[in-house]
Structures are given as structure tokens and as C-alpha cells.
């Protein structure tokens, strides 16, 4: 989001500082690298065991279904990024196309992702550190990570970019080593068959819906439009490439995982099934490497996620969309949004009580809702507002986003019932709050600052 948080050390303030102009420093490779790093190269291990168990060993097919759906949606993002090359991604596209009130509800739905992403990262950290050191309860690891990251974000300490680059590099090295070891059975002609399951279409879609969490990187690319050179051309290309490259990577890693450990019924724990897979490929040494690289990646991700979410809540509080006393003030000492940071930390405590399936489904509720809105925005913007005509326009701005919308709605309705209930309750809360703050929808809501900082 834009850096409009006031001057550090100048006391508590609720005034919005002038929004700066972001430096356009990223080319196509830079935008592509940003999106892939955001997706986290090892992200497919996060829900690997959960989805492979859910789909009776059909995670590769589930990833293919998800990739196809995401490519249609990525094409819609690319079209809107070309028409509106500005930060804000799905929220900006919805607001500019459907108006301020619909834009607020779209932004509110997306906010669910911002608020819950740290919870997911803490849960993963707890799961894998507990698997590595069973004597320490999972809850202790979660609380330790939460307290440490929250303190760092409250005091304004950030991970150096060099550290972040090292973490990404370590994940890439791990994947190369894992692929080399996993391919040995293939080269030796001793690949075991995956046990047959009785997965139906509904179960396969439920698994695909969980996997949407892995593809949030292309939405992140759309959010850095104001930092990208020639964004009308660069961002659309980067969005599609990130989706395609990330999807292929996830499919390959999932296939290699099945080659190494084909029996999805024999996992020690579905939540930490990656440990079984990695252990079968390279023993204790590779498992230790995996745990270090994966947890370090999650730690770096949650630092950024919690800071970003807190600043989004601060922006809403500063503009009067949330109570200013809690959300719209900065610390006099640190110049950070302490209230918002602590609220995000409190929400993240949910990680103590849920599993990966439920956590990822909650995040995917907001993601799939945003994807649906972007597909609809393409149809309205180009075919209705701009009145584009012709067979090519009908295909590009009607048929493709229409298919994307249908697929994302299909996946959205495949989420677990508890996730749908919580997500719809969140949406109802946003609608109620919007009605109150806009005097029954008679006043335009303030614009949310959902851009990257």
C-alpha cells in the first residue's frame, strides 16, 4: 500500500500524509520474480498432504484443474491491468468498474485474505517445527513465532532484502536437490503406482478449491503496477507468466512427491505429509534442510503479511472506515500502527484451534470472491462501458472471463461449509458496516489504500 502513515516519532497522528509517487524500477523479469517469490517456491508442500488425502491421491489432477481456472482469471487480471495500470489490483478494478459501494465490499472481502494470511503462516510454522521437535507442542511454536514477529513489526524492524533473497535461494536449492533425488526411481524404472481411490468430481473440486491459495502471486503482481516500467504491457504479461510458471512448478513438485511417496494413506500426518515425502527422498539430512528452508520462508512471508495487513487496517482507521482510536493511530515511539498490528496478532491466534484444511479454505473464500469480481469487471468494462464489438472482443472480453467466472464460482462453492459460513458472515459484517458509515448507502465510502507499501 502507499506509504501514508505519517512521520515516525512525531507523535500519534490520524492525518493522512501526502501519497508519494512510486519509482518505476521493475521490468518484466523483476515483476515475474516478485510474483514467484510471493507465491513461495515451496508453497505446494503447505497443503500437499491435506489435498492429496482429500482427493485420494489425485493432487496432480487437482492442480491441473486449479491451474486452468487460474489461467482464465489471470487473463482477466491482465486485461484489467492493461486498462487500469495502477496499484490496488482486484479492489481497484472492482471500484473503478462497479462503483464505490461495490468496490468497498470487494475490498472488504479481499481484506479477509490480508487478515488471515498471517494465521496460515503461523500454523504452518507450528506444524513443521513440532514435527521436527515433537517434544515441544505445536501451540508453543505458534505462540513463539507470533510473539517474535509481532514485536519486530511493532518496533518497525524489517528483514533485510538480502536475507529475503537468501531464503528464496535456499528454497530453490532445496527443490533442485529434491527433484534430483526424486527422479532416481523414474530413471531406474522402479516407479510405484499411486493407490487407486474413488475420488468424484465434487471431491476433486474441493481439493482444487484448497489449492487456489497457492496462486495468490498473480494478484500480487497486479498490485505493483505503479512500481513497474510500462505497466500497461509489462504487468499483463507478468501476471500470465507467473500463473503459468507457478502452476507448472506446483504440478511437477506434486508429481515428484508422489513418485517418492505414492501411498497417500500412509502419511504420519496429512498436515505435515511433506516430511514423509522428503524423508523418503533423502532421509534425515534432507528433512532437516527442508524444515529450515520451509520455516524460514514462512517466517519471512509472515513478517511481510502481518505488516501489510496492519497497514491496511491503519489506512481504514485513518480514513474513518474503522474506529480511529484502535486502528487509525501510530505509535509515538516507533511510528508503527501498534493497534492494528496487535489486532492482526490476535486474529492469528486462531492458528491454535484450526487445521490447514480449514485455514486455507477461509483464505480461499476471499481469493475466489476477488477472482470472480475481476472476471465480471472485464465483461462490464470492455463490452458494456467501452462497447467493444467484434468476434475477437467477444472472445477476449466475454467468453474467456465468462468461463473464468464460472470456474471460480464453481471452486468457490466447493469450499467447506464452515469456511463458507465464516466468509459469508464476514461479507455480511462488511455490508452492515458500509450501511452505517455511508448513512444507508447514500454517501460514497472513502477509498481503501490496498496498494503495496
Record the cell numbers describing residue 346, joined without a space: 490476535
SS3 452: coil
Q: What is the pLDDT of residues 394-447, one digit of tens each?
A: 999 999 999 999 999 988 888 888 888 988 999 999 889 888 888 887 888 766
The total number of structural domains in the chain stands at 1
Q: Which residues pair with 228 in a beta bridge?
A: 26
Query: Do 69 and 375 contact (CB within 8 A), yes or no?
Result: no
Query: Does 71 map to a domain?
Result: yes
Q: Give the integer Cα–Cα distance in Å for 341 and 178.
A: 37
Answer whether 450's CB lies under 8 Å from 244's CB: no
> pLDDT band for position 125 (50/70/90)?
very high
What is the C-alpha to C-alpha distance for residues 434 and 444, in angstroms, rounded to an integer? 10
* 92 within some domain: yes
Alpha carbon of residue 167 to chain centroid = 18
Say which residue, 5 or 270, is predicted with more confidence. Answer: 270
Confidence of residue 88 (pLDDT cuts 50, 70, 90): low
CB burial readout 181-197, b (16+ within 10 A) else e? bbeebeeeeeeeebeeb
Residue 200 lies in a domain: yes
Helix (H) or strand (E) holding 213: none
Give the pLDDT score at 13: 40
**Which candidate, 256, 206, 251, places its Cα nearest to that of 357?**
206
Phi, psi dihedrals of residue 418, rounded to the nearest 5°: -60, -40
Task: Give the contacts of 365 (CB within 8 A, at least 6 positions apart).
Answer: 109, 112, 412, 415, 419, 420, 422, 423, 426
Asked whether residue 23 is assigned to any structural domain, the reply reads no
Long-range contacts for 23-27 (Cβ within 8 Å, ≥24 apart)? 23/227, 24/226, 24/227, 24/228, 24/229, 24/231, 25/227, 25/229, 26/224, 26/227, 26/228, 26/229, 26/234, 27/228, 27/229, 27/234
SS3 content of the chain, % helix, strand, coil (to 5): 75, 0, 25
Q: In 3D, which of 290, 41, 291, 295 has the Cα closest to residue 145?
A: 295
Average pLDDT over residues 119-141: 92
| Whole-structure pTM value | 0.80
CATH number of 100's domain: 1.20.1740.10
Residue 170 DSSP SS3: helix
The predicted-structure confidence for 339-349, as pLDDT tens digits, reads as follows 888 999 999 99
d(CA 16, CA 342): 21
Q: How open is the CA angle 108-73-115, to the nearest 5 degrees? A: 25
- Which one is predicted more confidently, 85 or 212? 212
Measured from the Cβ of residue 428, the count of other Cβ atoms closer than 10 Å reads 10
What is the domain range of residue 132? 28-437
Those residues whose C-beta lies under 8 Å from the C-beta of residue 46, and which sit 6 or more positions away, are: 120, 124, 213, 214, 356, 360
Tell me how far apart the alpha carbons of residues 146 and 125 are, in angstroms, rounded to a whole number.
10
Residue 16 has pLDDT above 70, yes or no: no
Q: Is 451 part of any domain?
A: no
Predicted confidence at residue 194, as pLDDT, reads 72
Nearest CA-CA partner of 87 in 293, 227, 225: 225
Provide the grid cell at 220. Answer: 500480487
In a domain, 13, yes or no: no
pLDDT at 276 over 50: yes
**Which distant-in-sequence residues (6+ apart) come within 8 Å of 292 by Cβ?**
170
Question: What pLDDT score does 192 carry?
Answer: 67
Confidence tier at 10 by pLDDT (50, 70, 90): very low
Q: What is the separation of C-alpha 125 from the centre of its chain, rounded to a whole number of angstroms?
A: 16
Contact 255, 57 (CB under 8 A): no
Per-residue pLDDT at 86: 67
Spatial distance between the Cα atoms of 391 and 441, rounded to a whole number of angstroms: 38
Instruction: Give mean pLDDT, residues 270-286.
Output: 91
pLDDT grade for 146, boundaries at 50, 70 and 90: very high
What pLDDT, on the 0 to 100 scale, is given for residue 379? 95
Residue 326 lies inside a defined structural domain of this protein: yes
Task: Tell me how far apart the alpha carbons of residues 146 and 207 are, in angstroms, rounded to a whole number.
Answer: 28
Of 198-202, 333-337, 404-408, which gets the smallest average pLDDT?
198-202
**Is 444 part of a structural domain of the chain?**
no
Would you state the cell numbers that stand for residue 146, as one nine-digit string? 507470533
Amino acid at each position: 500500500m502507499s506509504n501514508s502513515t505519517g512521520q515516525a516519532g512525531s507523535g500519534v497522528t490520524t492525518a493522512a500524509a501526502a501519497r508519494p509517487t512510486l519509482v518505476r524500477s521493475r521490468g518484466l523479469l523483476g515483476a515475474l520474480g516478485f510474483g514467484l517469490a510471493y507465491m513461495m517456491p515451496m508453497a505446494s508442500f503447505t497443503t500437499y498432504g491435506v489435498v492429496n488425502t482429500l482427493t485420494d491421491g489425485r493432487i496432480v489432477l487437482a492442480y491441473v484443474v486449479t491451474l486452468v481456472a487460474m489461467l482464465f482469471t489471470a487473463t482477466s487480471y491482465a486485461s484489467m491491468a492493461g486498462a487500469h495500470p495502477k496499484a490496488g489490483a482486484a479492489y481497484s478494478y472492482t471500484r473503478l468498474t462497479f462503483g464505490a459501494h461495490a468496490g468497498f465490499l470487494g475490498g472488504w472481502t479481499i481484506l479477509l485474505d490480508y487478515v488471515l494470511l498471517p494465521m496460515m503462516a503461523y500454523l504452518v510454522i507450528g506444524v513443521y517445527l513440532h514435527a521436527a521437535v515433537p517434544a515441544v507442542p505445536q501451540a508453543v511454536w505458534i505462540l513463539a513465532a507470533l510473539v517474535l514477529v509481532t514485536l519486530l513489526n511493532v518496533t518497525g524492524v524489517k528483514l533485510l532484502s538480502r536475507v529475503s533473497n537468501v531464503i528464496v535461494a535456499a528454497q530453490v536449492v532445496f527443490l533442485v536437490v529434491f527433484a534430483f533425488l526424486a527422479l532416481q526411481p523414474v530413471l531406474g524404472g522402479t516407479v510405484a503406482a499411486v493407490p487407486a481411490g474413488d475420488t468424484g468430481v465434487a471431491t476433486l473440486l474441493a481439493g482444487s478449491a484448497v489449492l487456489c491459495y497457492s496462486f495468490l502471486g498473480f494478484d500480487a503482481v497486479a498490485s505493483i503496477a505503479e512500481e513497474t516500467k510500462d505497466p500497461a504491457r509489462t504487468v499483463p504479461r507478468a501476471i500470465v507468466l507467473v500463473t503459468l510458471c507457478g502452476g507448472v512448478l506446483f504440478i511437477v513438485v506434486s508429481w515428484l512427491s508422489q513418485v517418492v511417496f505414492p501411498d497417500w494413506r500412509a502419511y504420519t500426518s496429512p498436515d505435515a505429509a511433506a516430511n514423509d515425502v522428503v524423508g523418503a527422498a533423502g532421509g534425515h539430512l534432507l528433512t532437516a534442510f527442508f524444515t529450515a528452508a520451509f520455516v524460514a520462508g514462512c517466517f519471512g512471508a509472515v513478517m511481510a503479511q502481518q505488516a501489510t495487513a496492519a497497514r491496511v487496517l491503519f489506512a481504514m482507521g485513518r480514513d474513518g472506515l474503522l474506529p480511529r482510536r484502535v486502528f487509525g493511530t501510530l505509535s509515538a515511539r516507533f511510528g508503527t500502527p501498534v493497534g492494528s498490528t496487535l489486532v492482526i496478532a490476535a486474529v492469528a491466534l486462531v492458528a491454535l484451534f484450526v487445521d490447514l484444511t480449514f485455514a486455507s479454505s477461509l483464505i480461499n473464500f476471499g481469493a475466489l470472491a476477488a477472482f470472480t469480481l475481476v472476471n465480471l469487471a472485464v465483461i462490464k468494462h470492455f463490452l458494456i462501458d467501452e462497447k467493444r464489438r467484434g468476434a475477437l472482443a467477444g472472445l477476449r472480453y466475454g467468453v474467456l472471463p465468462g468461463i473464468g467466472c464460472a470456474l471460480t464460482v464453481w471452486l468457490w462453492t466447493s469450499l467447506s461449509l464452515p469456511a463458507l459460513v465464516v466468509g459469508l458472515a464476514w461479507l455480511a459484517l462488511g455490508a452492515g458496516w458500509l450501511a452505517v458509515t455511508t448513512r444507508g448507502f447514500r454517501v460514497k465510502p472513502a477509498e481503501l489504500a490496498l496498494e503495496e507499501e
